[in-house]
Structure 1
Amino acid sequence: MAKTGSTILASGSASAAKFFVAALTFTAAYVGLSAYGTADSTPTPTLTPTASLTAQELPVVATAAQRSEPAAEAGRIAIGTQTTGPNCLKTFLARSLIVNPEPNETVSYNWRLARWNPGTNTWKTYLVDYSGFAGDEHSAEWAYAISANPGWYRVELKAEGRRTVKSDRFQVSC
Structure 2
Amino acid sequence: MATRSTAVLATGSASTAKLFAAALAFTGAYVGLSAYDTANSAPQPTQTVTLSARAVPITAPASYEAAPAAAGRISVSQRQAEAGCVKTYEARTLVVNPAPDRTVLYGWKLSRWHPGTNTWDAYLVDYSGFAGSQETVAWHPRLTGNPGWYRVELTVDGAKTVKSRRFQVSC
Contact 1:70 1:94 in 2 (8 A): no
Relative to structure 1, is the Cα distance of residues 103 and 150 closer, same or farther in structure 2, using a 3 angstrom cutoff? Answer: same
How far apart, CA to CA, are the structure 2 residues paired with 1:56 and 1:134? 45
How far apart, CA to CA, are the structure 2 residues paired with 1:161 and 1:52? 58
Task: Compare CA radii of gyration and give the structure with the larger one.
Answer: 2
TM-score by length of 2: 0.64
- Cα drift, residue 130 of structure 1: 0.3
How far apart, CA to CA, are the structure 1 residues paired with 2:55 and 2:144? 27
For residues 82-123 of structure 1, give each alpha carbon's deviation from its aligned partner in whole angstroms, at most 9, with x where no partner exists: 011112111100000011122111100000000000011100
Cα RMSD after superposing both structures: 2.6
Answer yes or no: is 1:102 the counterpart of 2:99: yes
- Cα drift, residue 66 of structure 1: 4.1
Structure 1 counterpart of 2:88, one-letter code: T
Relative to structure 1, is the Cα distance of residues 54 and 111 closer, same or farther in structure 2, using a 3 angstrom cutoff? Answer: farther
Structure 1 counterpart of 2:165, one-letter code: D
Misfit runs of 4+, over 3 Å: 51-57
**Corresponding residue for 2:150?**
153
Structure 2 counterpart of 1:120, one-letter code: T
- Cα drift, residue 125 of structure 1: 0.5
Correspondence for 2:83 among 82, 86, 95: 86
TM-score by length of 1: 0.63
User: How many residues in Structure 1 have an aligned counterpart in Structure 2?
Assistant: 120
Structure 2 counterpart of 1:117, one-letter code: H
Relative to structure 1, is the Cα distance of residues 103 and 84 closer, same or farther in structure 2, using a 3 angstrom cutoff? Answer: same
SS at match of 1:74: coil
- Cα drift, residue 68 of structure 1: 1.7
Answer yes or no: is 1:130 the counterpart of 2:124: no
The percentage of aligned residue pairs carrying the same residue is: 51
